[in-house]
Chain A
Amino acid sequence: AQSVAQPEDQVNVAEGNPLTVKCTYSVSGNPYLFWYVQYPNRGLQFLLKYITGDNLVKGSYGFEAEFNKSQTSFHLKKPSALVSDSALYFCAVRDIGSASKIIFGSGTRLSIRP
């Protein structure tokens, strides 16, 4: 069965420093991977996705993610964190056994201190 794991419940970073939010996946075949962000009392906003091609995927708000097949990882990164980046981040994988289902991780709360 397909799954994603987000090993850190919380990540704390100082503003201006680089940030990384970790995600590992377990799939059979080629994975379709996604990152979403959720601000308080709001729905999920799409950040980026990996389908095929370049291992470094660029997304919204200056975020990027690196697909690493050998480590089965898809970590989210940003070179310089902003306080406004503080939110809940979800990694997700397309369930290849389903017509269109996405399987989400448990989320990582990112806190950027001024």
Chain B
Amino acid sequence: DTGVSQDPRHKITKRGQNVTFRCDPISEHNRLYWYRQTLGQGPEFLTYFQNEAQLEKSRLLSDRFSAERPKGSFSTLEIQRTEQGDSAMYLCASSLPSTRGRETQYFGPGTRLLVL
């Protein structure tokens, strides 16, 4: 399977713990995105990388959230001091560059986080 992969697929943690998710994009896709999806809602944009540079962050990305893409390949999303409101599906997507936003974003299977 050469699609976007995410690990783990499921994570249960206790409030106050730190969690880290990993995303491996489609090979040669230099753009990588993180979204969050809560139950009954569409995905909401969190952040975007082009190669290793984090170019955009949503206001949804509080100080407890940090994302990295150190070598321009895989990315990690860390949530510190988790809260019950962080429970959601975290989706990663990747794309090739395209002019003026015409690119198609391809999504991974997501990591479902439950904070107890």
Write the residues of chain A forming the contact surface with B, with a CB cutoff of 8 angstroms: 32, 34, 36, 41-46, 49, 51, 90, 92, 94-96, 98-107
Contact B44 A46 (CB under 8 A): no
Using A99-B55, A102-B45, A105-B42 as known contacts, say yes or no to A43 and B31 having CB atoms under 8 A apart: no
14 contacts between A and B (CB under 8 A): A43-B4, A43-B6, A43-B91, A44-B43, A46-B104, A46-B107, A51-B102, A94-B101, A99-B56, A100-B55, A100-B56, A101-B45, A106-B42, A107-B41
B28 within 8 A of A: no
Chain A residue with Cβ nearest B104:
A46
Bound CA span A42–B112, Å:
10
B109 within 8 A of A: yes
Contact A100 B101 (CB under 8 A): yes
- Residues of chain B within 8 A (CB-CB) of A103 are 45
Bound CA span A100–B58, Å:
12
B85 within 8 A of A: no
Bound CA span A51–B103, Å:
10
Chain A residue with Cβ nearest B112:
A41
Pick the contact of A104 from B40, B44, B103 — CB < 8 Å?
B44
Using A32-B102, A99-B55 as known contacts, say yes or no to A42 and B44 having CB atoms under 8 A apart: no
Pick the contact of A101 from B40, B50, B56, B110 — CB < 8 Å?
B56
Chain B residue with Cβ nearest A104:
B42
- Residues of chain A within 8 A (CB-CB) of B95 are 100
Shortest 10 CB-CB distances between A and B: which pairs? A104-B42, A43-B107, A44-B107, A101-B45, A43-B109, A94-B101, A99-B56, A43-B110, A43-B108, A100-B48
- Residues of chain B within 8 A (CB-CB) of A44 are 43, 91, 93, 107
